[in-house]
Structure 1
């Protein structure tokens, strides 16, 4: 049975667009409205904190930390059922396996307000498969842009850097990092040698 209160919302864009800040803002708003909220983050993202989702600007919120595996996705579903949460947020959703799509969709179908935040494209400007699937199933999509570090125009891509130079195409797709490894770039200034 589909509950009228369920919704799947996806926040996406490149690095430094404010996706995590927007996710935390929405979670805090729901907590303020006395909704029971839960925020989840992948265990591989320990950049600023192990127990909190932390935005690049320092905004933070306590989170459940789960592995980026099918078992981690099952743990999310189990914790949500046990906690009877009204609102569920997942940060860095692109790091989870494909099973996350069905799980989040099922949670929304069961009446939960689900907010998933993640990168639209990898450093090669290729879509993350999980994001592609979530975006087409979302009831609402919030697409954020950053500012290109080269020209100041709207940036839609994440430029990976190695020693200050664009990372080659054969670099690993997953590299958790911040300003030391990435810049926001527009289409014109994004490079993948």
Structure 2
């Protein structure tokens, strides 16, 4: 019994020592701004000083590989592809999770439990979590929970890309198609980084095009209904 009590005491003391000793670092920006590249650079830096790391990404993102974080330049790193974050300790294994020092999260905007997980990792488990994700969607609205974790972050880095129209700094993501789904996973075939000027100008062109397409679709559906009557 004494041995059991001492083991429990050691576990409690160890847990208390770890509480609040973690950190949260956020990397955000538009598409093609190098978020995944920056994340991988930081992860590899942690590995170089002997830290135990694991990488996680959303299972929704299968553009380049299912079980790797891959940059647009083709640089990859093995990862766990998950539908949510809170299941990670169970899937990874609790003993292995306890030994982790750093957790990297790519495409963080797709995780609805991002805030909850980051609090647990940094506040309760004393680990460092490095988050990379889009801060805004193609309409420049908050995307997912990335902006929600800024108040609890130790550092926030906002990256920029290069406007594909003029070459100036690009802080926004322009969708090339008329699809209105918030979550539309794609690459350069669907999105392009743009500056403020060319975001506004292109949105002015895309909106009328969408209205024409929606009108054509409505007419086609009306014709089919009439034919079926």
TM-score of the pair, normalised by structure 1: 0.88
Q: Is the 8 A contact 1:77 1:103 kept in 2?
A: no
Instruction: Say if 2:50 is the partner of 1:41.
Output: no
Tell me how far apart the structure 1 counterparts of residues 93 and 51 of structure 2 sit (CA, whole Å).
13
Tell me how far apart the structure 2 counterparts of residues 125 and 43 of structure 1 sit (CA, whole Å).
24
Instruction: Say if 2:188 is the partner of 1:179.
Output: yes
1:152 corresponds in structure 2 to 167
Match of 2:121 among 87, 107, 113: 107
Structure 1 residue ranges (4+ consecutive) displaced by more than 3 angstroms after TM superposition: 1-5
Matches of residues 89-128 of structure 1 in structure 2 within 5 Å? 89-97=104-112, 99-109=113-123, 110-128=125-143
Q: Is the 8 A contact 2:20 2:122 kept in 1?
A: no
- Structure 1 residues 14 and 153, CA gap change in structure 2 (3 angstroms): same
Q: Is the 8 A contact 1:150 1:189 kept in 2?
A: yes
1:32 corresponds in structure 2 to 48
The structure whose residues are more often helix, as a share, is 2
Tell me how far apart the structure 1 counterparts of residues 115 and 184 of structure 2 sit (CA, whole Å).
22
Number of aligned residue pairs: give it. Answer: 182
1:188 corresponds in structure 2 to 197
Runs of 5+ unmatched residues, structure 2: 1-15, 208-229
The one-character-per-residue Cα deviations of 1:89-142 (angstroms, maximum 9, x if unpaired) are 010000111x22111122011210100100011001111140120122211001
Tell me how far apart the structure 2 counterparts of residues 124 and 52 of structure 1 sit (CA, whole Å).
28
1:62 corresponds in structure 2 to 78
Shift of 1:30: 0.7
Greater C-alpha radius of gyration: 2
- Structure 1 residues 80 and 103, CA gap change in structure 2 (3 angstroms): farther
Higher relative contact order (CA 8 A, sep 6+): 1
Q: Is the 8 A contact 1:13 1:145 kept in 2?
A: yes
Shift of 1:151: 1.1
Tell me how far apart the structure 1 counterparts of residues 93 and 74 of structure 2 sit (CA, whole Å).
26
Tell me how far apart the structure 2 counterparts of residues 4 and 95 of structure 1 sit (CA, whole Å).
26
Q: Is the 8 A contact 2:46 2:53 kept in 1?
A: yes
Tell me how far apart the structure 1 counterparts of residues 93 and 135 of structure 2 sit (CA, whole Å).
25
